[in-house]
Amino acid sequence: MEDTKTYSPGLEGVIAGQTAISEIDEARASLAYRGYDIKDLAVKSTYEETAYLLLYGALPDKAQLSEFEGQLKAARGVPGEVVDLFRKLPVKSHSMDILRTGVSMLGLYDPAGWDNSHDANMNKAVRIIAGMPTLIALGHRLTHRQKPVEPRDDLTHAENFLHMLLGTPPDGPKGRIFDSSLIIYAEHEFNASSFSARVTSSTLSDMYSAITSAVGTLKGPLHGGANEAVMKMLLEIGRPEDAEGWLMDALARKERIMGFGHRVYKHGDSRAPILREASREICEFEGYCRWHDISLKVEEVVKREKGLLPNVDFYSAPVYYLLGLPVETFTPIFAMARAAGWCSHVVEQLDNNRLIRPASIYTGKRGLDYVPIEKR
Ligand code: COA
């Protein structure tokens, strides 16, 4: 007899471990990193400070933050061999595939790559968090036949990324809005990519392998790939007045509307309203609200027709588009932000490790007699 009592498809609702990094309160639709509500962190903190909080478990004092910021700045460069390889990649390779390859390559050039001690992993976390933005900007520019742009020490993590990718630092509120989006994306408990990073490290594999696993897991449209898919949908809809018809057709075809619904949040995702506000702010700054207006209409129709609310990936799409970011870099940006969460999970997993190895229910045939090939 099959034991179906403890089987939960997609591991829904299964407690797969303990964590002190972040907490989702589904009933209140809230999210806290190390006890601090992200609504506060998104407006009061910086990505660098939030990354420190996630990794070290407490907010830094001024000296600690300044030292951490210095470490991140010092680790912005990537090995020349990575640049050489990126020059040989197929033209217009997808940024997420380049990032996955790049993170894996970083491990090859880190002499401490295989050292799984707590201190070595904290150092590797800095190299990964600082290196990923460079990999994305470099990879995208080189595969689009653009010259690489060197990192700048006088810019923050968020500003420097925009400078390296777009060739110019952000103006007006853009740097702060982008920084806030990175804070919002930085961590989210046992989501699929963080869990895959934990599974990889639970075998005592190294941090670069774990983060490579996580990047591959984030790529899918049911996870991080949704923000790119949302922008493609907004572009296809084209005008606010066409949103209703487009959606009714898609829903009639039983299609999933990207950027809506969530495995955990059934009463709304607290990150979405913060990004909705960011989308409004940037459209007003730019004096161009087409994508924001389509997004509002899509939210209204999907809520009315399906009772579904937007998740983190919905409003990040119009925000990133108005920041001038190429659509295919949206998911890699989610990845570079989530790097702080992923590395914190790897450190936490290894500090108290037990191999993650679930069980399954066998549904195949049993007791078959082996038939020699000439008799089949
Ligand atoms: N559009 C349309 N219907 C959706 C939907 C969406 N975005 N999300 C969920 N649903 C529907 C499903 O079709 C299903 O309906 P059914 O019971 O009639 O078949 C029901 O809601 C439950 O969906 P299910 O896929 O079982 O929930 P889940 O917990 O596995 O899915 C997601 C969670 C995130 C994978 C899902 O909501 C989704 O695919 N969203 C779009 C992708 C996305 O935005 N991902 C980013 C997440 S942060």
Output the CA–CA distances (angstroms, integers) from residue 252 to 222, 243, 256, 299, in the order listed.
20, 14, 10, 17
DSSP string for residues in 19-59: -SSEEEETTTTEEEETTEEHHHHHHH--HHHHHHHHHHSS-
Q: Which residues contact 210 (CB under 8 A, 6 or more apart)?
A: 197, 198, 200, 201, 342, 346
List helix spans (H) across 57-94: 62-74, 80-88
Query: Do 261 and 314 form a contact (C-beta atoms < 8 A)?
Result: no
| Each residue's pLDDT expressed in tens, for the chain with a length of 376 residues | 455 568 999 999 999 999 999 999 988 889 999 999 999 999 999 999 999 999 999 999 999 999 999 999 999 999 999 999 999 999 889 999 999 999 999 999 999 999 999 999 999 999 999 999 999 999 999 999 999 999 999 999 999 999 999 999 999 999 999 999 999 999 999 999 999 999 999 999 999 999 999 999 999 999 999 999 999 999 999 999 999 999 999 999 999 999 999 999 988 999 999 999 999 999 999 999 999 999 999 999 999 999 999 999 999 999 999 999 999 999 999 999 999 999 999 999 999 999 999 999 999 999 999 999 999 9
Place of tokens 């002499």: 111
> What is the rounded CA–CA span in Å between residue 75 and residue 80?
13
9: Cβ below 6 Å to ligand 1? no
Among 30, 38, 54, residue whose Cα is nearest residue 264: 30
List helix spans (H) across 186-325: 192-202, 207-218, 226-237, 243-252, 271-286, 290-306, 312-322
> What is the rounded CA–CA span in Å between residue 125 and residue 114?
13
260: Cβ below 6 Å to ligand 1? yes
Distance 263 CA to ligand 1 centre (A): 7
Query: Do 255 and 345 form a contact (C-beta atoms < 8 A)?
Result: no
- Report which residue type is found at 106: L
Query: Do 98 and 326 form a contact (C-beta atoms < 8 A)?
Result: no
Residue from 157, 163, 262, 345 carrying the catalytic annotation: 262
Distance 261 CA to ligand 1 centre (A): 5
How open is the CA angle 324-330-335, to the nearest 5 degrees? Answer: 135
Phi, psi for 359 (deg, rounded to 5): -110, 170
Distance 256 CA to ligand 1 centre (A): 7
